[in-house]
Amino acid sequence: MRRHAVTERQLDEAEAARRCLHTTDDTVQQALRRRRREGEIVSPMPGLFIRCTTWEKLTPTERMCHLVRGLAQIHPDWVFGGVAAACILGLWIDYRTVNEALRSGKVDVMCTMRNGKGDSRHVRRIRSDAGSCMRVDGVKVTAPEQTAVDCARMLPFDAAMQVVCCVLHNGAELASIIGCAAHNGEIGKAERAVFKYASPLVENGGEAKALARFIQCGFAVPQMQVVFVDPQTGRTYRVDFLWLTNDGRIIVVELDGLVKYTDPQMTKGRTLGGIIDDERERVEGLKRAGVHTVVRIRMEDLNNTAMLQRKLLNAGVPVRR
């Protein structure tokens, strides 16, 4: 078998396993480095390789997973944590957070409190004597509760809320997460804030980020997933976020996403016009059921805090006291 055929076979096998290639064949390594110089191969970390055409098609989360699975081939005893674990576990985490982790060139790896090893160029050590690990797709990662704790400590509030809300939504108890955090000492201010406001009721990462933004903007904590029945049609509507004002008004905020208008599973064969008509009927049904104001926000609104705050204040959303 010619050497280029061996290289192609190894790349194919790694791609089928959804990981970057690590090879111990010196000749294949030389061929991969040459092709990297020619722009055909990407090496996201030393010793790991993947075709450019494959890498470019991957989402940030998929890139992180390919990277981690490749590292697990080199270091099978490593227990990955933080963003790396969140990606492998399929937890909610936005692309911006994952991209920042990829650009840093580092992954989080667990070590015990007694382990004296420090960070290296490509590894950030997470010291903990708490939390169990599990194996997913051949990769050892921290359990969801420990992953939630680490992300609450290391990530910005909105990104941490996504991870912790997802772990709660998947069935973990908040008490077990807090217990895991407390095992290693005092719980920090950032962690306490996330644990205070995270909720199992949010149904996706977008809603978790929206909840985080409402908190950051100083609004009262909303009720979530409240069901209304249209007295005229009998149809039921479940709303994302709800506030009851002091004067008895009900204000609802709904989070829109592009996927609602483009994903066939969401559109269910409806045209764009049909979807818009259904949304209009939904608003009318909610108002007949007693809702006074319905505010629609988009994912991009969550990145403009000043505009979001102004929009919700104008709608009468109550602030936190």
Q: What is the pLDDT of residues 142-180, one digit of tens each?
A: 999 999 999 999 999 999 999 999 999 999 999 999 999
Residue 99: band (very low, low, confident or very high) from pLDDT cuts 50, 70, 90? very high
pTM greater than the 0.85 cutoff: yes
pLDDT at 261 over 70: no
Buried b (16+ CB within 10 A) or exposed e, 307-320: ebbebbeebebbee
Token readout for 29 is 């390594």
222-237 average pLDDT score:
96
Residue 184: predicted pLDDT:
73
Residue 264: predicted pLDDT:
38
Q: Rounded distance, CA 260 to CA 267, Å?
A: 6
Residues 112 and 128 sit within 8 Å (Cβ to Cβ) = yes
Edge-to-edge strand ranges of the sheet holding 123-127: 123-127, 107-111, 80-81, 139-142, 133-136
Residue 154: predicted pLDDT:
94
Helix intervals (H) in the chain: 3-16, 26-37, 52-57, 60-74, 82-89, 95-104, 144-154, 157-169, 174-183, 189-197, 205-216, 259-262, 264-267, 272-288, 305-315
Q: Mean pLDDT lowest for which of 92-101, 121-130, 210-219, 229-238?
A: 121-130
pLDDT at 238 over 80: yes
Residue 202: predicted pLDDT:
96
270-282 average pLDDT score:
61
277-296 average pLDDT score:
90
pLDDT at 5 over 80: yes
pLDDT at 279 over 90: no
Edge-to-edge strand ranges of the sheet holding 293-298: 223-229, 236-244, 250-256, 293-298
